[in-house]
Amino acid sequence: MRRRRGALLRWYRANRRDLPWRRTADPYAIWVSEIMLQQTQVATVPPYYRAFLERFPDVATLAAAVENDVLAQWTGLGYYRRARSLHQGARDVMRLHGGKIPADAVTLRTLPGIGRYTAGAIASIAFDCTEPILDGNVRRVLSRWFDVDGAELGKGEEERRLWDLADQLVRGSSPGDLNQALMELGATTCLPREPACTACPLRNACFARANDAVERLPSATPHKKSITVRVGVAVIRRSGKVLLERPDGANPFRGTWDLPAVELDGNGFATEALTRRLDQRHRVGVAMGDCLGHATQDILHRRLKLEAHGGALRRGRIADSRDLSWIAVNRLADHPVSGATRKVLALVD
């Protein structure tokens, strides 16, 4: 293990990508980066990370912020539950920890949105704690190095073995760099398909490479089959504004504010479904018109086939509903709307 971690650290320090969160030792900034990197590709994050820290430079500023301001700043990253958890976590740090981010993984895991992996990453990178990490990239690296089949990745005995291997590797100097090196190797070199084995610092100590098992390890895990869903979307405009709603369980979009939308059954008509939804949920009457266009949006394992229809308000007052609002089209950047809403509005603009 000592030889492995030495080779890995030398490789990392010579080859690591220049990412903004690697230029700081601030625990708050590292926490923000780890939350943003959950379920988001690394290349997407830097501009959002810089903008977020400019708007909320420290934990006290974030804790004092209004939730809508935090969500608006998160717009474009999606999965808004992460932003809410980060915001609530900042408030917990101010209330329970005197404004200081906990330095140990056990206490970090008591904060919203922080599980074992994220706690280990923050504790090791920000506080130099010898805490292991295990994400998809690290699982793949360790599976190939140490012949872990992978059929049960994420659970059971295999998961316990991988955590134990990660724990053995991290013990020593520079645990934060060691953990980042594992992630970096999995993200840039030990790839799921056609890995660059000749560039790997552990190529001569890798079970998979020595046994022609690189493509086999870890065993392919079944992905959820993509489900295609028809969605009707209402685009109701007035005087440079568009009508948005707070999505509920019936709206398939994931923003805090979004265009009214509804999943369509079979060959159901979008105009009828949207008219019925707006009447039943918001007590407003609308006249839905022609189709303005089509688009698709992927959300996890669901592919939404969007059918946008124009419409006009005919009955009821928007002000009477806390879940409806007229939003100026040129101010949408200030509101946490989903990518699906942005795609539809770009389509019909």
Enzyme catalytic residues: 34
Amino acid at 74: W
Which backbone phi and psi does 302 adopt, to 5 degrees?
-110, 130
Describe the crossing of helices 45-55 and 27-37 by its angle, rounded to 10 degrees. 140
Greatest distance between any 2 Cα atoms in the chain: 73
State how far the Cα of 227 lies from the Cα of 347, in Å rounded to an integer: 23
The answer to whether the CB of 245 falls within 8 A of the CB of 260 is yes
Helix (H) or strand (E) holding 63: helix 59-64
The answer to whether the CB of 3 falls within 8 A of the CB of 169 is no
| Rg (the chain; Cα; Å) | 24
What are all long-range contacts of 274-282, with beta carbons under 8 Å and residues at least 24 apart?
274/232, 274/233, 274/234, 274/309, 274/311, 277/250, 278/234, 281/245, 281/248, 281/250, 281/323, 282/245, 282/316, 282/321, 282/323, 282/324
Listed in sequence order, the residues at least 6 apart from 216 whose beta carbon sits closer than 8 Å to its beta carbon are: 208
Residues in the chain: 349
Listed in sequence order, the residues at least 6 apart from 199 whose beta carbon sits closer than 8 Å to its beta carbon are: 189
